[in-house]
Structure 1
Amino acid sequence: MAAAALLSVLRRNRLLPLFETCHLRDRLFFSSSVDAAAVTVGGTLSPDPHFMVEYLVNSCGFSPSEAAKVSKPLAHLRSTEKPDAVLNFMRSQGLDGAGIRKMISSRPTYLCCNVEKNLAPKFQFLRDFGLSELGIVDAIQNNNAILGLNLHRSLVPKFEMWESLLGSREHVVRHFKKRTWFFNQSVEERILPNLKFLTDECGIPEERVSMIVRSSPQFISQKPEALRDLVVRTEELGIPRHSQMFLWILRFLLMVSKESFDAKVELLRSFGWSESEFLSVVKQSPGILSLSLEMLRRKMEFFINEVAYAPSFIADHSNLLQYSLEKRVIPRFRVFEMLNTKGLWTRQGKFLHFVKLSNTKFMEKIVLPYKEKVPELLDILRVAGASMEFARPVAVLIRITIGLIAPQAISEGYTHYV
């Protein structure tokens, strides 16, 4: 499905056999537009071959040393007509001075582009595809190399390819705003081989592959040999290819080097976990692989030293390691301690129950019943609120305390400020 649709897109654009030559053609096309701009006579003329240094300083805000470096590919220019047009256009599109300097520094010959034929159509295409004006500016600033792509032979087909692969135009726009780098990835050398490997050789349904790609496009864009190595590493953990968790563990392993993985194994072993416990935890909660070594250490130490959980208990309830330490675990544990100290929490519930509750349920069931007897709870959560996880519940609770909101507003799902 996804692979077939992708093949259809590539065939429709006649790109499948020649896709890898696009980059070279783009460079040739772009160079031709640069040469055309270079011979244009108009604007401010200067016989001084170094006049671009002064121009870059005065027009773009470069320092003299930066301008001298940037001006080298522009030494053939004798007119400011093209640079003036490019700068005026970029400013009209919302790019600020820093963004323009970054763009010119990465490729000075952008100043030789023909605005009407080369730049304006690309901005219009991005608008038509669904990006906002601000989204286009952010995308250009994150990766201005897309301005060097030929619109019809490269930019449009690549957008269509990712739309087919990700399932919707909205998904493409969302990822494009964050990471335009995936537009530089080779279709024939990376994406298609990876899709075929996962679906044909590993037997993974395309729908499942698409789910991973939508959340992590770099997963399908990695080198095929790297993906095969990840599959081997995952199977060594005892995860069969037909397992529902297989792809998710592959995704997390992509973010963790072999050295980092081994270091985490050794760390958890030092806390008393057996190898079988570690493998069991990875199968249940692969997200712990994305934790830094230091954060993993801090969480284990807190649960063992402060909460007095045995390492085996943590392994059996590995979702504990997924919660934020500062935003969730520590504040709730301090509330738990306070209520126990006051002798108010006499029920059989344990801290595990505390930490699993949603913010709203935690406020409703644990905090509100004791807000009069233990006003210190507000101080504990106000500090946590500064880190945003408790910001809204605490704000609502304060309004309840001073009588602006009825207490039942929490249980009724109150979500707005007064």
Structure 2
Amino acid sequence: MLRLRCSILTHLLSFRATSPVSPLHRLLSAAVSPDPVSAFAVDDYLVRTCGLTPAQALKASPKLSHLKSPANPDAVLAFLAGLGLSGADVAAAVARDPHLLCAQVEKTLAPVVAGLTGLGLSPSEIAHLVSLGPHRFRRRSIVSKLEYCLTLFGSSDNLFRALKSGSVLSSDLEGVVKPNVTFLQECGLGACDIAKLYVLMPSSLSISTEHIRTAVACVEGLGVPRGSRMFKHALRAVAFLSEEEITTKIEHLKKTFRWSDAEVGIAVSKAPGVLSKSKESLERRFEFLISEVGLEPAYIAYRPAMLMYSLEGRMRPRYYAVKFLKENGLIDHDRDFFNTVMVSEKVFVEKFICPHKDAAPHLADDYGAACRGEVPARFSFT
């Protein structure tokens, strides 16, 4: 009997039905009636029928110990197959949320699919949603939450990108998400800004509005006003830092780069992300920029964006390449360091590497090696 059931389900899980509310589960019920004599072995069902590994089944089975027959799980599996989920997708969904097998197809899953279809989601997008969060899919409230989030994020592509980053659909929509969005809009952030902020900082829509208000006050205290271009970046940098932690980071910036209070304020307002850098990272940049490149602290304070660039993958290789060109008389010495660092890689190569392929045929290879963390002999200066 078990072997017959497995055979039928294996066929059904590989079949893509054209309608989400398909008669596949009724076919199962008609073809296979539960054996009242033999007990329902959940572990065996999860492995043989759902495709879970023995370890996954062992972890999931206690959550399904109340099941006495495969009737409802069979109906759920058939319904998921009708949505277009592959056997592997179904196995992954069940492993993440074993209670999915307990959902009622006619009362819950089918109405959810109908509601999502009404919002304009395609069958493949609905199937993708199941894969991302099977526990959310078995709650009918997902329809109203998705309707709001689609408006907020602007498109289904943006929505699914956001869902990969966080759990906005699991948050309290009326009590937390909407008030947070409203407050962020009052701070000058548009829907696009809020969507991007959420992708970078998923908890921005699930933490309390009071917490966000505190973070906004802190950002303004650092000299970054609401509505400014740097506001959302500063908010992301300090959102989960206490006042004491922020003070500690500012004091470290002053000590490391020998900045005055005013210079720290300038640097943070221009590049609030510096508050997210570790002490070790900042100290390595200090050693390079001041001791090796020879920059003045004030120069860095007014151009703090360079502190956000990769030291090994960007600043150091470019410094070596430009210095090589200067030392060999291939370019004049009046080259601003920040201007050589801020341009894109493509522009830097076109401007500083390609024009000298005849005079310095090894420059491109040496520069590439420097980007990989090596120091070519020609880049060793005394």
TM interval, shorter chain, is 0.7 to 0.9
1:323 aligns with 2:302: no
Deviations 1:360-417 (A, max 9, x none): 3322221122112212222134346779xxxxxxxxxxxxxxxxxxxxxxxxxxxxxx
Out of 235, 248, 263, the residue aligned to residue 220 of structure 2 is 235
The match for 2:235 is: 250
Instruction: Decide whether the 8 Å contact of 2:50 with 2:87 is kept in 1.
Output: no
Aligned amino acid, residue 232 of structure 1 = A
Alignment of 1:42-191 (within 5 A): 43-45=33-35, 47-49=37-39, 51-60=41-50, 62=52, 66-87=56-77, 90=80, 93-95=84-86, 97=88, 100-115=90-105, 118-119=108-109, 122=112, 129-130=120-121, 133=124, 139-150=129-140, 154-176=141-163, 178-179=164-165, 181-191=167-177
Deviations 1:133-177 (A, max 9, x none): 3x6565444432221221xxx22221221233334555334423x
Aligned amino acid, residue 165 of structure 1 = L
The match for 1:289 is: 275
Instruction: Decide whether the 8 Å contact of 1:85 with 1:115 is kept in 2.
Output: yes
CA distance in 2, matches of 1:300, 1:197: 38
Q: Secondary structure at the match of 1:277?
A: helix
Structure 2: stretches of 5+ with no match in the other structure: 1-25, 374-382
Structure 1: stretches of 5+ with no match in the other structure: 1-36, 388-418
Instruction: Decide whether the 8 Å contact of 2:230 with 2:271 is kept in 1.
Output: no
The match for 2:10 is: none
Instruction: Decide whether the 8 Å contact of 1:139 with 1:180 is kept in 2.
Output: no
The match for 1:214 is: 195
CA distance in 2, matches of 1:96, 1:305: 59
Alignment of 1:363-378 (within 5 A): 363-378=349-364
1:314 Cα shift? 1.1
1:121 Cα shift? 6.0
Alignment of 1:249-288 (within 5 A): 249-254=234-239, 256=241, 258=243, 260-271=245-256, 272-288=258-274
Q: Secondary structure at the match of 2:332?
A: coil
Aligned amino acid, residue 250 of structure 2 = V
Deviations 1:48-99 (A, max 9, x none): 54611222233345565653442234333333233234345546734554x5
1:181 Cα shift? 0.7
Instruction: Decide whether the 8 Å contact of 2:103 with 2:138 is kept in 1.
Output: no
If the length of structure 1 is used for normalisation, what is the TM-score? Answer: 0.68
CA distance in 2, matches of 1:338, 1:257: 45
Taking a change above 3 Å as real, the CA distance of residues 332 and 116 of structure 1, as seen in their structure-2 partners, is farther
Counting aligned pairs with the same residue, the percent is 31
Q: RCO (CA 8 Å, sep 6+): is it higher in 1 or 2?
A: 1
Instruction: Decide whether the 8 Å contact of 1:304 with 1:311 is kept in 2.
Output: yes
Deviations 1:171-218 (A, max 9, x none): 334423x2351012212211333345456xxx544xx34343121234
The match for 1:415 is: none
CA distance in 1, matches of 2:53, 2:192: 47
Aligned amino acid, residue 77 of structure 1 = L
1:246 Cα shift? 4.0
CA distance in 1, matches of 2:114, 2:220: 47
If the length of structure 2 is used for normalisation, what is the TM-score? Answer: 0.73
Taking a change above 3 Å as real, the CA distance of residues 270 and 120 of structure 1, as seen in their structure-2 partners, is same
The match for 2:291 is: 305
The match for 1:412 is: none
The match for 2:340 is: 354
Instruction: Decide whether the 8 Å contact of 1:288 with 1:321 is kept in 2.
Output: yes
CA distance in 1, matches of 2:341, 2:176: 43
Root mean square deviation, CA, Å: 3.5
